[in-house]
Amino acid sequence: MKIKSKILITVIILIYGCTRMAPETTTENQGVPGCTPQFPNMKVTYNNYVKKVITRYCINCHQGGNSPGPGNFTTYSGVRLYTDFFAVRVIQDRADMPQGNAPLPKSTRDSLNIWINNCSPEN
């Protein structure tokens, strides 16, 4: 097993352990219905983080109309329609988005990953 995977697994176990001890928090979640947030203590939301990333790196190609990329990523609901594809196309180490460029910085991809695993909340 690669050292990276070992670190990742350790981190996941640590986070899981900590969240299990934390009292149940019921936060409003406007994300995917029926989805359970995997990192409930980490507040990565569309409004506080994801929107900035998408605006900077993606909407030049994904804004509807004649733009080359599918969808319209200028709104929360527009982005949400495509979050199922993010793991492969945006988050993994060999992601091919943003098209024609290197994948996003690792820390940015990690944060997007948390957002998606937390059911992609808006706020």
Can you give the binding site for ligand HEC, defined by CB under 6 A? Answer: 57-58, 60-62, 68-70, 82, 85-86, 89-90, 97-100, 104
Confirm if 39 and 19 have CB atoms less than 8 A apart. Answer: yes
Nearer to ligand HEC, 44 or 58 (CB): 58
Tokens representing 70?
Answer: 């599918």
Question: What is the separation, in whole angstroms, between the first and last Cα of the chain?
Answer: 37
Q: What is the nearest approach in angstroms of ligand HEC to the Cβ of residue 68?
A: 4
Nearer to ligand HEC, 36 or 60 (CB): 60
Nearer to ligand HEC, 23 or 65 (CB): 65
Q: What is the nearest approach in angstroms of ligand HEC to the Cβ of residue 121?
A: 17
CA 11 to chain centre: 17
Going by C-alpha positions, the residue among 74, 89, 88, 78 that lies closest to residue 120 is 78
Q: What is the nearest approach in angstroms of ligand HEC to the Cβ of residue 25?
A: 29
Cα–Cα distance for residue pair 117/27, rounded to 1 Å = 15
Q: What is the nearest approach in angstroms of ligand HEC to the Cβ of residue 62?
A: 6
